[in-house]
Structures are given as structure tokens and as C-alpha cells.
Structure 1
Amino acid sequence: MNAAIALCHFCEAHGPCAIFCTQTLRDTKLEDLNLDNQQIPNKMCLACNSLGKTNAIYSRDNESGATFLSTQIPILPEVANLIKQASVRSLSCEINFHKDGGFVFFGDSSRGHVLSHTFHVGDLQARGFYQLFSIIILMKDKYFLLNIKPFLAEHLQKISTEIQISAQKIKCEEAAKGSPRQRRLSSSQMMVQTPRSLVELTGEKNIYAILHSHFSWILLAGSRFLTEHVTFGNLPWLPPAPSVIRPSKQFITLPYKTDDDQPTEEDQEESMSLRYVKQLLRNEFPAACFCALTGIKIIVRGSPSKAFNFMSCLKKLLPEQMHNVIQIDAQQFLTNSECKIVSVKPDVAVPIASSATFRIDFLDNENDRVSVKWPGEMPNKWPDLLIKLVKAVDEERFTDLVLNKQTRVLVEEWKNKVICLNQAKSSSGLAKLKKVLGVQSQDQQLINYWSPHLQGN
């Protein structure tokens, strides 16, 4: 997960600051890093210090090849500045004063988006008998951070509770030795005390190694959440989801096929992408995607093998809930109005092209030559999803496998937006949701088509 996690502390002597940060290093080698470049202030107390200027903790995941590095201050200067700003806000103005520790989301595109969890740690020597800490997660991807907020909140809450329980034991042991108030009023009590470190507060000398393991796991699990969950599958550590009987609605149809002339769907996932559709349709590619995304009927006529390849790529444009692939004959095709993307054999008669019907005909079996007919017009402003899909297809650095993953991420993002909009209880609430989610007027046709099929999700 492309993010940084930091533990922040509000020092009574020096104010708010980040004292421990964990990052993922993928392309940077440890030997190329210089810990002496950390921008650590010269004036520091025990409460502001964790690993020191020249120390670090790192671990490596052999499966993904990612290295997780924990230092007192982020090793990359640009990240250090963002963490510094976020730590000040999380401990001053962006605070949820819930008794069990609250969560606040803040940030912007230039300074990064932050999920902050603020909590109290008991300390009989501090003002109010507690010290203020926060755990912040900073990343650039706003929607990904919001989508996995329940996952992050659950585990950040567990980490803070673990710290609070350890600190509570120390607090009870100190309280048993006498009243904290009496000791403060006693002349033998020093009027000014140095703020205590987290090691002293919890009594755990390996507290930062423990935090490193927690933060590293969250970064690793977050990356798996992105690559697995958004691809219509289950997380690898979760049991398979129970089978759900869906209504018998039909959105995409394929022609009759045999095992000899058509590859499996798994093979298509690895080798075929939307780039194949663009190679066939050329300048008509955006129009075909627009029709698929907004519910304009698409008819593909040609040999089963060619149509199967084409349809397997085209269905990637829609959420899994709209992937009810079936096989029909000519009579069913003529009477089935729910099918929005249809594939038929060359000998089946089809309607003429119109603004409501996008026709694609494979001209021969030897070469991938097609005839595209659609008298409709593209809108002046394209839906946001269409713009991002076309940009991803044009990205030369994307392999077909990477493009497939990116397509699924984009489709899943808009699926989640539509599901959120379905939850709106009033027109004013719907307008606010659209503003938060960045939904524009040009996206409404897509929303109208997807919304009924995503009800109840």
C-alpha cells in the first residue's frame, strides 16, 4: 500500500510532532539511504524521541519483495514534510474527542489525505494525568483511503488499545504508591518534570519493534486489499463467500461456443484487455465504451471464437453484478430487451444501427476486420470513468495484465460511488454526496444505468 503510517505525540515541552514512522520501500535500496539526513530537531526530550537519528527497524516480505522501514522521521524529505504537517493537525485542530479514541479524515491533493486516530495514554506525571497521541495514515489516493477506512479503523483501534492497556498497568502501580495529587502538592515533588517516553509509559522496552510489526502488517494487508478485493474476488485470508442466487436478469450474452474453438475465461483474463477492443474499433473505441457504460445496446455479430474474445474484453467495463453471461438463440435475442450487450452468429438477422443500437460486424474469419455502425453522437463531456479508461488504454507502460487490473480498479471505484448514491435519503443528501464523490452531470447517464442493478449492495 502506497502510504506512510506514523505515531504522533503532543509533547508538553515541545508541542506536536511525529515520533515514529513506517514506510514501504519498493524501488529504493536500503544501502542507498542515509539516515543522517533525517530532519530531526536538535532540542528533543525523551517523549519526542523513539529510535534516534541513526537507528531504524526494517523487515521484508519475500512474496511481494517489499521492504518496510521504520525511522523516527520519514527518510524521504518530501514525505517528512507531509507527515510533519499532518501530525500537527491531528493533535491540534483535527481531533475527535470520543472517550475511546476517535477518527478524523482530512487533507487535500497537494498535502495528501490523512486518516487520523487520536487517543489518550494514562500518565500520572502529565497534565490531566494523560498524554495525547495519534496514529496517522497518509496517502495520495483519497478514494482508496475512504474505501478501506473500516479496515484501518479496526486495526488502529486495536493498536491504541494495546498501548492504553500497558500504560494503565503502569499507572495503577504508581497510584498504589500514593495519591498523585498529594505527591504533586508535596514539597519533595519537583515542580517541573521531563515528559516521559512511550517506553516508560507502557513499561515495554520493545514497544517500537511491536509498533513496527503492526504498521508493516497494515501496509502489507492494505496492498493485498487493493489487488484482491477490487478484482471481484475474496481476500486470500478470508473464507470463500457463500454462493448467492441472483435474479435471472440478463445483461451480456455470448453465442453458443465449444471447448475446441474458444479459450477459457481464465486465459482471457491473463492475455486479453481493452487494448484488443481498441485495435479492432480504432477511432470508434470511445463510442463503444460509452455505449457499454451507459446502457446503449451493443450487438456483436460474427464467428463464435472472435465474438467470444471481443465480449470477454468488453464485459470488463461493467461491475460483476452485471456480468450475467448467458447463451440465447435468435428468437430469444429478438424478444429480450434486457440484454444490453449481445453477441450472435453471422446468420442471425439483427436490427439496423440507430442511436439506441451500436452494431459491430466481423467481416471475415481470417483477419480481424470489423464494420462499426452507430449514427449516435458522443456527448461534449465524457463520463469520468470513460476518460480514465481511455487514458489507461493509451498508457504504453501498462502491460495487458496491468491494464486489466487498472480497469477493474476504476470500475470498482465507480461501482462504490453508485452504491453510496443509492443510500441517499433525500435530494439534498444526494447533492452533497455527489459533491463529495466528485460526480458531475456528465456521469449521470452511467449512474442511471448502473443504479438499479446495484441496489441492495
Structure 2
Amino acid sequence: MNAVIALCHFCEAHGPSAIFCTQTLRDTKIEELQLDNQEIDNKMCSACLSLGTKNAIYSKDTESGATFLSTQTASLADVQVLIKQAAVRSLSCEVSSNKDGCFVFFGDSTRGHVLSHTFQVSDMQARGFYQLFSIIVLMKDKYFLLNTKPFLAEHLRKISAEIQTSAKKIYDNCKDVPRQRRMSGPEVIVQTPRSLVELTGEENIYAYLHSHFSWTLLAGSRYLTEHVTFGNLPWLPPQSSDRPPQQRLTYNITLPMLQKYEETINDPQREEFYSLRHVKEVVRHEFSTAVYCALTGIKIIVRDSSDSTLNFMLCLKKLLPEPMHNLLRIDAQHQHSISSDYKIISVSNEIAVPIASTSVYRVDFLDSSVDGNKVRVKWRGELPTKCPDLMVKLLKAVDEPRFTPLVLNKQTKVLIEEWKNKIICLNRAKTSNGQAKLRKVLGLQAQDQPLINYWSAHLQ
């Protein structure tokens, strides 16, 4: 998950700041990491420091090769600024009135989108007998952050509860200290704000936090993900509701920090590359039939080299929910793949394929454009008088001139996710009477039945 998780603290002497940051690194050699680019004020008190400027904690997932690095501050100067701004807001203006610690969402496309969880930690020596902390998740992708909010909220609340429980034990043990010794008087020694280690009594508290944050980033990447290939990615572990195996994470306490931070840049051409408009550009006036066949489970066979058909196949993938992506196959090498359970297949020209029929939709890429057509489409079937509601909405979205490729992608995801949830709800109705009521509530019509029949068999 491309995010940064940070623990923030409101220091009575120095104000709000982030004191512990964890982020994901991929394709990065450990020996290239350095700590020299951290900008930390040496005048900061112990409460504002966690690992300091020379130490880092890292863990590595042996399956994906991803490294999770925790440091005092983020490694990139630009990210440091975003984290600092988010920390100030999460501990000042963006604070829930619920003392139990609720979640607040704020941010924008420039400063990043933030999910903030603010909570109080007991401290007998602090003003009001508590210190204010927050855990923030900073991400560029607004919709991914909002969709993973239930998952993040559950686990961040567990982390804060562990910190509060440990601090409460220390607080209860200090209750017998006379109140007047902590108030004004000539013999009072001014106490500096206490560190999280002192508050909780846990010497390895930051190692624990790193373990929690790393697992959250790892599991968050599986909670909701956009697969580039079909089926499970080789570096993604199988879906699981529990923690990943403990032996997959290896730890080291002191390592230099990343010198160069790889940012994911949203390339407009890449968004257009994945846009459904690419399908329309290829099949032209046959676009409606291609969408209908993909949505209702009519087998689509695309013929040409994988280099030519890859873009087209990736776009067709967007017409199915993620649990059904294993029904697609790129570059089938054997004829038996044609008759298998795959519904959308690309094959080379050397492989014999079935002729076009009502149950087979053929798309043959041409060596050269003929009358402006890049492909030859063959299908014996006909579109129904009334098409499924999802298909109608997708066609309108593609034809909407005000939708940029990025907006069209977001709209497509929303529509597919909406109908996936409808089918799942319908599948869970145990009686025909219950299904009839659900159909009315969900607005399902007779023209939606071909789509329902296809999706219901693969969505539970």
C-alpha cells in the first residue's frame, strides 16, 4: 500500500510533530539507504524523539520483496513537509470531540489525503494528566484511503488501545505521589515532557509500533488492490482475514535510510491507456456489443500477438469485478485454453479458434488498417431491445465529453463495485420472496438478468 503511517505527538514544549514514520519501499537495495537527509532539530526534547537521526527499523516481506522502513521522519523532504502539515492538523483543528478517539478524514490532492486517529495517553506529570497523540495515514489516492478506512480504523484503534493500556498502568502506579509535589512551589523541579517509552514503560515500544504499522501496510495492500495481471499477482499473498505468517517478516534495528524515494506518478497517457475509450477506439461501432458480451459472460476471443492485444485486454478487465479477473487469460499458448472456463482470452494467430457464433465473440487484429478499422469483429448474436442498466451507465460515461480518462476510470470502478455489491446481496437472500424484495430495493430489472446470472456464479 503506497502510504505513510506516522505517530504524532503534541509536545507541551515544542508543539505538534510526527515522531515515528513507517513507509513501504520496493525495489530498493538496503546498502543504498542513508540517514544523512533527516532534518531533525537537535534541541528537541526526549518526548519529540523516537529513533533519532542515526537509527532505523526495517522489516522485509520475503514473498513480495517489499521493505517496510521506520524512521524518525520521512526520507523525502517533500514527504516530510506533508507529514508535518498533517501532524499539526491532526493534533489541533482536525480533532474529534469524542475522547475515545474517533477518525477524521481531511486533505486535498496537493497536500495528500489523511485519515487521522487522535487519542489521549495518561500522564500524571502532564497538564490535564494526559498527553495527546495521533496516528495518521497519509496517501495520495483519496478513494483507496476511503475504501480501506474500515480496515485501517479497526487496526489503528487496536494500536492506540495497547498504548493507552500500558500508559494507564504507569499512571495508576503514580497516583500515590502527593499532588502538591507536582504543583507550583519553590522546590518543584520543572519536568520536561516524557517520552512514549517513559509513558508506557515499554522499552521496545517503537519496535512494536513498527511491527504493527508494517503489517497494516502489508495487509492494506491486499484489502483492496487493482491487479495488473489476472488472478493473484506473484508478489501478493492469498487473501486472508488474519495476520500473515510471522516468519515472512524479518527485522533489523539499525540500518541507514533511503536516499531516493520512488514516487508513483500519475501519467495521463497511462490513464488513457487503461481507459475504456481505448476499447471503443479499437472496435468502433461494435463497442456496445463488446461491452455486452464482457458483462454477460459471452466468450470473447482476441487474436494477435500479446504485444498488440495487451492494452485491449487490460481495458476489458475493467468491465468485471476483481473476484472475476481470473476468468481472463492473456496470450493463451494452447488450444485447450479456448474451451476452458476463461471468458476473455487473447491468442496468437497460429492457434485455431472457434468460428464466431452467438456464444463466441471474435476480435481479429489486422496487420494494416482497413477503412479505418484496426480489427475485424465477428458475432452472430444481437443486442437485446433493453440492455442491462450497468451497460447503459458505462456507455454514457464513456461518451461523456467532460470525463477525463482519470475520471472515467474512477466512474467505471464505482459502477462495477456498485453492481458487485448488488449481486452479493442478492446471493445472500435465502428465499425467493426475499430475493424478490431485494430486487425491488436494488432496482434490478428483467434486462439485468443475463448479467445477474453470470456474476452470481462467481460472486459470493
Normalising by structure 1, report the TM-score. 0.61
The alpha-carbon distance between structure 1 residues 5 and 203, as it changes in their structure 2 partners (threshold 3 A), is: same
The alpha-carbon distance between structure 1 residues 347 and 167, as it changes in their structure 2 partners (threshold 3 A), is: closer
TM-superposed deviation, 1:411 = 5.2
Question: What is the correspondence of 1:382-401 to structure 2 with a 5 Å cutoff?
Answer: 382=399, 388=405
Partner residue, 1:197: 195
Partner residue, 2:239: 236
Partner residue, 1:65: 65
Question: What is the correspondence of 1:154-233 to structure 2 with a 5 Å cutoff?
Answer: 154-175=154-175, 177-179=176-178, 181-185=179-183, 187=185, 190=188, 192-227=190-225
Query: Partners of 1:363 and 1:31 in 2: how far apart?
Result: 49
State which drifts further: 310-319 or 156-165. Answer: 310-319
Does the 8 A contact of 1:122 with 1:164 survive in 2?
yes
The alpha-carbon distance between structure 1 residues 232 and 449, as it changes in their structure 2 partners (threshold 3 A), is: farther
- For structure 1, the residue ranges without an aligned partner over 5 or more in a row are 240-273, 326-340, 351-358, 393-408, 423-447
The alpha-carbon distance between structure 1 residues 193 and 321, as it changes in their structure 2 partners (threshold 3 A), is: closer
The alpha-carbon distance between structure 1 residues 382 and 200, as it changes in their structure 2 partners (threshold 3 A), is: same
Q: Helix, strand or coil: the match of 1:317?
A: coil
- For structure 2, the residue ranges without an aligned partner over 5 or more in a row are 243-272, 328-342, 345-353, 369-373, 383-394, 424-446
TM-superposed deviation, 1:8 = 0.2
The alpha-carbon distance between structure 1 residues 383 and 65, as it changes in their structure 2 partners (threshold 3 A), is: farther
Query: Partners of 1:88 and 1:208 in 2: how far apart?
Result: 21
Query: Partners of 2:160 and 2:39 in 1: how far apart?
Result: 26
Question: What is the correspondence of 1:23-38 to structure 2 with a 5 Å cutoff?
Answer: 23-38=23-38
Does the 8 A contact of 1:286 with 1:386 survive in 2?
no
Partner residue, 1:400: none
Question: What is the correspondence of 1:391-430 to structure 2 with a 5 Å cutoff?
Answer: 412-416=413-417
Q: Helix, strand or coil: the match of 2:135?
A: strand
Question: What is the correspondence of 1:108-123 to structure 2 with a 5 Å cutoff?
Answer: 108-123=108-123
Q: Helix, strand or coil: the match of 1:195?
A: coil
TM-superposed deviation, 1:370 = 2.0
Partner residue, 2:247: none
State which drifts further: 165-174 or 77-86. Answer: 77-86
Q: Does 1:318 align with 2:320?
A: yes
TM-superposed deviation, 1:28 = 3.2
Does the 8 A contact of 1:8 with 1:18 survive in 2?
yes
TM-superposed deviation, 1:382 = 3.1
Does the 8 A contact of 1:20 with 1:50 survive in 2?
yes
1:135-163, Cα deviation, whole Å (9 max, x unpaired): 00001111111111010000000000000
Partner residue, 1:246: none
Query: Partners of 1:97 and 1:292 in 2: how far apart?
Result: 52
Does the 8 A contact of 1:225 with 1:235 survive in 2?
no
State which drifts further: 91-100 or 313-322. Answer: 313-322
The alpha-carbon distance between structure 1 residues 213 and 300, as it changes in their structure 2 partners (threshold 3 A), is: closer
Partner residue, 1:142: 142
The alpha-carbon distance between structure 1 residues 372 and 391, as it changes in their structure 2 partners (threshold 3 A), is: farther
CA RMSD of aligned residues (A): 5.1
Task: Give, as a single letter, the amino acid of the residue that structure 2 aligns with 1:52.
Answer: G
Query: Partners of 1:171 and 1:113 in 2: how far apart?
Result: 35
Partner residue, 1:54: 54
Query: Partners of 1:32 and 1:4 in 2: how far apart?
Result: 20
- The number of residues matched between the two structures is 349
Task: Give, as a single letter, the amino acid of the residue that structure 1 aligns with 2:198.
Answer: E
Task: Give, as a single letter, the amino acid of the residue that structure 1 aligns with 2:215.
Answer: W
Q: Helix, strand or coil: the match of 2:120?
A: strand
